[in-house]
Amino acid sequence: MDKKYYLAIDIGASSGRHIVGWKESGEIKTKEIYRFENHVDNQGGHLVWDTKRLFNEIKKGLKVAFSQYESIESLAIDTWGVDYVLIKDGKSVLPCYAYRDSRTESAIEEINSKISFETFYMRTGIQFQPFNSVYQLYADKKSGRLDGVSTFLMMPEYFGYLLTGNMVKEYTNATTTGLVNCKTKEFDTDLIQILGLPLQMFPSLNMPGTVVGKLKDDVAKEVGGQTTVKLCPSHDTASAFYAVDNPEDSVLISSGTWAILGAKIKEANVSRDALRCNFANEGGVGNFRFLKNITGMWINVCLKNVFGRSFGDMTCLASESTFDGTFDVNDKEFSLPENTDKKIKNWFESRNLDAPKTEGDLYRSAYKSMAMGYKKAVGDLEKCENRTFDKIYIVGGGANNKLVNEFTREFTNKEVVAMPIEATAIGNLKSQMEL
């Protein structure tokens, strides 16, 4: 029987990759065939994504896929959450703002004056993040960007639209907007009307496994082949959680630029503890992902950019250091990428604490602080769920960092299972094969 080949296009905040997958002896096998860099651009003082360049990279990877494989059964795209492209008269309204841009600050205050976050949380189950799509959309409304706009497409939906000509909205990523009702699993029209956002922008949602369509003729001609585009759990964390069949008594951490820490639950948890601890109930495949976004490899990526070291060299230098100080990796001081080494030193010095002196000290402190962030979040998770978790599964790129894994084991006193797999891509592929 001929093998069927599927393509996962997995785009993160710092890189993207095309991964071909197939089943062999009941297991999903993968091969990365194309990789490209991603980064935010500074445009007129705002942080934006270069969507044109990203789409060109998607097509370049498709060319590689069709040059190596005679037939691709289907493809699906996943990306980070919350960011989107506005559509007017079938065309994109640019720029596409990045979630780290500061334009939402005044929107948060105005929304809070209209409706309490507690009410928001009870209806949507989504944690407060200043970059949630709801605040971005409200900022767009205030600036007039929504005038004449027919809809908005989350990043995977937008690229799916460019590939097929069809606009199809997907459930798991839609939950990161902060506007999906956690009971109905559709957009909450009451909230949308209170905020004065155009209702036509919020159509019905579709579940992973839905067919988006075939490649447009011009795209198929350009990339050298034809295939079907499907919806996977298009929020990358949803795909990562779907990839791992972890037991219910375990914590799952998807460790990338962000570390997404949580557990799979059947019904949304919108308790007062969950609200206080700022946990989200994001949509999953047949479940909710009860989780918290905390800083993952972001600070390490920033330090890498400062010193130009490889991650391997950074870990070696951290191992040689004896510095024990930790800092709050979730402090908003570290949200922007510039001068991260100076910011870390300043964090300690401003509190009259011994600051890192060497490169190795900086790396070790960043790794230990990341693990300390895990410890606090696990404690919050156990309190909210009123149960104890025995194991921590770590997937994604961050699972390769043995030092962080050791610190996590030490700080949490739990068994740590590192699975340095492309969990997001595997979940993406698994959904194409099985849903």
Question: Active-site residue 236, yes or no?
Answer: yes
CB 367 within 8 A of CB 300: yes
Marked catalytic residue, from 10, 140, 236, 380:
236
Burial class (CB in 10 A: 0-12, 13-18, 19+), 357: exposed
| Alpha-carbon distances of 213 from 74, 92, 163, 220, 233, rounded to whole Å | 10, 20, 9, 12, 16
Residue 299: strand, helix, or coil: helix
DSSP class per residue in 217-280? HHHHHHHT---EEE----BHHHHHHHH----TTEEEEEESSEEEEEEEESS----HHHHHTT-E
- At which residue do the structure tokens 């005038």 appear? 147
Sequence-ordered strand ranges (E) for 25-90: 27-37, 41-43, 46-49, 74-78, 84-88
Q: Which residues contact 22 (CB under 8 A, 6 or more apart)?
A: 3, 4, 5, 6, 28, 29
DSSP classification of residue 421: S
d(CA 213, CA 164): 6
Q: How many other C-beta atoms lie within 10 A of the C-beta of residue 431?
A: 27
Residues designated as active site: 236
